[in-house]
Structure 1
Amino acid sequence: MTPLIAADVTAIVLVTCLMLAVPAMAGPTTPFGVRVSHARAGDPAVIAQRRAYARLALAAGACAVAVSVPLLVRGGSTSVVGATATALVVADLLLYWRSARRLRAAKLAGGWRDEQRQGVTVNTTFRTDPVRLPWSWTLPGAATLLLTAGLGWWRYGDLPATLPRFSGYGVDAARREPVTVLTAFAPVMYQLAVTLLILAVTLLLLRARPDLDAARPVGSARRYRVYLGGMARLSLLGVACLNLGLLASALQLWTVVAPSTLWTVVTYLPSVGLLVAWLVWESRVGHAGHRLPALPGEEDEDSGVTQRDDDRHWFLAGTVYVNRRDPAILLHARIGASWTVNLGHPVAWALLAVLAGAGLLAALGVIDLPVRQSGF
Structure 2
Amino acid sequence: MSLASDLVAVALVTVAFRALPALARPTLPFGVRVPPARVDEPALRRERHRYARWVDEAGALGAVVVVVLALLAAPAGVRAGAVTALGAADLAFFLVASRAVGRAKRAGDWYAGTRQGVTADTSLRTDPVRVPWAVLVPAVVVLLATAAVGVLRYPELPATLPALGGTGVLPDVRVPTTAGAAFAPVVQQAVLTVLMPALVAVSLRARPELDAADPAGSAARYRVYLRGLAVLLLGSTALGNLSLAVVAALLWGLAAPGPLATAALVVPLAVAGLAWVVFAVRVGEAGHRLPGGTAPSRLVQRRLVQRDDDRHWYLAGLVYGNRADPALLVHKRIGMGWTLNLGHPVAWAVLAGLVLLAVLATTGVIDLPARGGPTLEP
TM over 0.5: yes
Distance 1:16 1:255, change over 3 A: same
Partner AA of 1:346 in structure 2:
P
SS, match of residue 334 in structure 2: coil
Q: Which residue of 1 aligns with 2:109?
A: 111
Paired residue for 2:336? 337
Partners of 1:298 and 1:154 in 2: CA distance:
63
Counterpart in 2 of 1:205?
A: 203
Q: Structure 1 stretches of 5 or more lacking a match? A: none
- Please report how far the alpha carbon of residue 359 of structure 1 lies from its aligned counterpart in structure 2 after TM superposition: 1.4
Give the corresponding residue for 1:94. Answer: 92
Deviations for 1:29-62, whole angstroms, at most 9, x for unmatched residues? 1111100011111111111111111000001111
* Cα pair distance change 1:34/1:368, threshold 3 Å: same
Q: Hey, what does 2:48 align to over in structure 1?
A: 50
Structure 1 residues 80 and 181, CA, compared in 2 at 3 Å: closer, same or farther?
closer
Within 5 Å, give how 1:117-156 maps onto structure 2. Answer: 117-156=115-154
Question: Can you list the C-alpha shifts for 1:327-369, whole angstroms capped at 9, x where unaligned?
Answer: 0001110112131000110000100100110111122122344
* Counterpart among 65, 71, 74 of residue 73 in structure 1: 71
**SS of the residue 1:331 aligns to:** strand
**Cross-structure match for 2:161:** 163
Seen in structure 2, the aligned counterparts of structure 1 residues 6 and 174 have a Cα distance that, compared at 3 Å, is: closer
Q: Following the alignment from structure 2 to structure 1, what is the Cα–Cα distance between the partners of residues 144 and 363? A: 36
Q: Distance in 2 between matches of 1:80 and 1:267?
A: 26
CA distance in 1, matches of 2:202, 2:166: 25
TM-score (norm 1): 0.92
Quick one: percent identity of the two aligned structures?
Answer: 49
Instruction: Name which of structure 1's ranges 148-157 and 323-332 shifts more when overlaid on structure 2.
Output: 148-157
Q: Is the contact between residue 34 and residue 311 of structure 1 (CA under 8 Å) also seen in structure 2?
A: yes
Query: Do the aligned residues in 1 keep the contact of 2:163 with 2:371 (CA within 8 Å)?
Result: no
For residue 299 of structure 1, report the CA deviation from its aligned partner: 10
Which residue in the other structure is 2:237 paired with? 239
Inter-CA distance 165–367: structure 2 relative to 1 (3 Å threshold): farther
Q: Which residue in 2 is equivalent to 1:220?
A: 218
Q: Which moved more, 1:116-125 or 1:4-13?
A: 4-13
Q: Cα deviations across residues 282-312 of structure 1 (Å, max 9, x unaligned)?
A: 01111111110129x9998766111000000
Following superposition, the deviation at residue 5 of structure 1 comes to: 3.4
TM-score (norm 2): 0.92
Residues 36-45 or 254-263, more deviating: 254-263
Residues 351 and 168 (structure 1), Cα distance of their counterparts in 2 relative to 1, 3 Å cut: farther
SS of the residue corresponding to residue 156 of structure 2 reads: coil
SS at 1:165's partner residue? strand
**Unaligned 5+ runs, structure 2:** 373-378
Provide the aligned length of Structure 1 versus Structure 2: 370
Q: Cα offset for 1:227?
A: 0.3
Match of 1:41 in 2: 39
Matched residues in 2 for 1:288 and 1:12: separation?
29
How far apart are 1:265 and its partner, in Å? 4.4
* Aligned-partner Cα distance in 2 for 1:169–1:66: 25
